[in-house]
Amino acid sequence: MKKYFIRGLWHDHPALRQLLGMCSILAVTTYVINAVFMGLGVIFVLVGSAFFVSLIRKIVPDEIRIVVFTVIIATFVTIVDLILKAFFPGISDALGPYVPLIIVNCIILGRCEAFACKNPIRASLLDALGMGLGYTWLLIVLAAVRELLGYGTLFKKPIMPSTYNPLSIMVASAGAFITLGFFIAIMNKLGKKVT
Amino acid sequence: MKKIFKTTIVLTTISVICGFLLAFVSALTEKPIAANQHKKIGEAISKLSPAVKKIEEAPLKDEQIYKLFDQKQSLIGYAVVAEGPGYQGQIKIVAVTDSAFATLEGIQVIESSETPGLGAKITEDFFTKQFKGTKLASPLECTKEKTDKGDKILAISGATISSRAAVNIVNNELQKIKQEITEIK
């Protein structure tokens, strides 16, 4: 059972290994605080949809499974979106369209299709939680690097000395590609030793 | 034939359950969301025009404007929420005018997702303060060169599209409302 949880964190990391959910990773990692909330949102949607998909896996006919997954995922995402808008308006503004776009985040549909619809509830929940946490730690680490270099801050608090001239490119799209590229390269290097 | 029934029933049931769930959450969050939106507009107005003590909604034919009153309950201006496309996504701007709807008191960008470091500068004071005191008789113009003639808004270098978008959004909304506002005066 434990292996279902662990693998999403490292060996089978959804972003660094499976290269899923790239666009949200590139887009929301400008501030650590955004990354934290985006990660929490994705974990909630992943776990919620994995639970329901696993629960109804035996009654859903194969032909309509993707439609059913999408309906379930969309429901959870809309709930997250409404809750953020109502109780965390600042975060909701910062994440903008990327919250509703969790619906098409391929990590979630990918885990429903590859795992939750074929496995019992407990295994699916552990798998979803592991994948969600794996995605979240990467978001936070990437955001920390980019925020520190691009704005000179962490959690919007100034960290770098006042003489530091922020590298705007790090918080623009190009910086996202560069940072993520470095992480995937490191993962490939380390991964060779593991396998 | 049997398969069609099964797929229909399963999909319908799931959709109905999800629909109920969403209706429940939506009912729960409706009020706080509206309150947040109001608060944001209110904050922008009081920053642009600190004398405002009371804000009243005034629906026009197609648009929604806000009447602004001071301590003595006299009308000191109008506020307008203008929205339109920027370089990336929507830009939402609150504009405050004087009571004659002839001069702009200022603008504040309350929602935008322009490029950080370039287009995002439209939210900063050095850009928005250019709108203060401009006349509404004719649409504002966005230029790339400094001039003293007329009401011109100097575009931010490297962010001409975002600057132009902000000017156009303000123009469109204010010119539209200028025509309608005579009805409620």
> Strands B75-85 and B64-69: what pairing?
antiparallel
**pTM greater than 0.80 (yes/no):** no
Nearest to A72 among B18, B25, B36 (CB): B18
How many CA atoms are closer than 13 Å to the CA of A42, on its beta-carbon side? 34
For residue B141, the model assigns a pLDDT of 81
pLDDT tens column, B28-41: 999 998 898 888 88
By C-alpha distance, the chain B residue nearest A173 is: B115
State whether A64 and B11 contact (CB < 8 Å). yes
pLDDT at residue number B149: 64
* CB–CB contact B116 A168 (8 Å): yes
Q: In whole angstroms, what is the distance from residue B181 CA to residue B176 CA? A: 9
Do A96 and B36 make contact, defined as CB atoms within 8 angstroms?
A: no
* Amino acid A73: pLDDT: 92
Distance, in Å, from the CA atom of B145 to the CA atom of B172, rounded to the nearest integer, reads 23
CA dist A149 and A162 (Å) reads 13
In chain A, which residue's Cα lies nearest the Cα of B40? Answer: A89
Please report where in the chains the tokens 């401009």 appear, as a residue: B134
Contacts of B176 (CB under 8 A, 6+ apart): B62, B63
Task: Give pLDDT, residue A5.
Answer: 87
C-beta of residue A119 within 8 angstroms of C-beta of residue A140: no
Contact: B117, A82; criterion CB under 8 Å: no
Q: Most A CBs within 10 Å: which of B1, B5, B28, B33, as the mutation test of the A interface?
A: B33
pLDDT below 70 — which residues of chain B? 116, 148-150, 182-185
Q: What is the pLDDT of residue A195?
A: 43
* Ranges of H-type helices in chain A: 2-7, 22-28, 32-55, 65-87, 89-95, 106-111, 121-150, 173-194
- Among B3, B14, B117, select the one facing A68 at the smallest CB separation: B14
- Quick one: DSSP state of residue A18? S
pLDDT at res. A136: 95
Residues B107 and B149: their CA atoms lie apart, in Å, by 21
Among B90, B113, B156, the residue to mutate for chain A (most A Cβ within 10 A): B113
* Crossing angle for the helix pair A32-55 and A121-150, to the nearest 10 degrees: 170
Shortest Cα distance, chain B CAs vs residue A140, angstroms: 19
| Closest partner CB to A61 (pick from B3, B28, B29) | B3
B18 and A67 within 8 Å at the Cβ level: the answer is: no
Partner A contacted by B40 (CB < 8 A)? yes
Residue B125: Cβ within 10 Å count: 9
State residue B57's pLDDT score: 80
Residue A35 to chain B, least CA–CA distance (Å): 17
Residues of chain B in contact with residue A170, where contact means CB-CB under 8 angstroms, are: none
Q: What is the pLDDT of residue B185?
A: 54
From B11, B14, B113, residue closest to A96, measured CB to CB:
B113
Element (H, E) at B24: helix B2-48
Please, what sign has the CA dihedral across residues A167, A168, A174, A180?
Answer: positive
Which tokens go with B97?
């005018």
ipTM of predicted complex: 0.77
CA A113 to chain centre: 17
- Show pLDDT as tens, one digit a residue, over chain A (195 residues): 788 888 888 888 888 888 888 888 888 888 898 899 889 989 999 999 999 999 988 888 888 888 999 999 999 999 999 999 899 888 887 777 788 888 888 899 988 888 888 889 999 999 999 999 999 999 999 999 999 998 888 888 888 888 888 888 888 889 999 999 999 998 888 876 544
Place of tokens 């985006």: A38
Confidence (pLDDT) at B150: 66
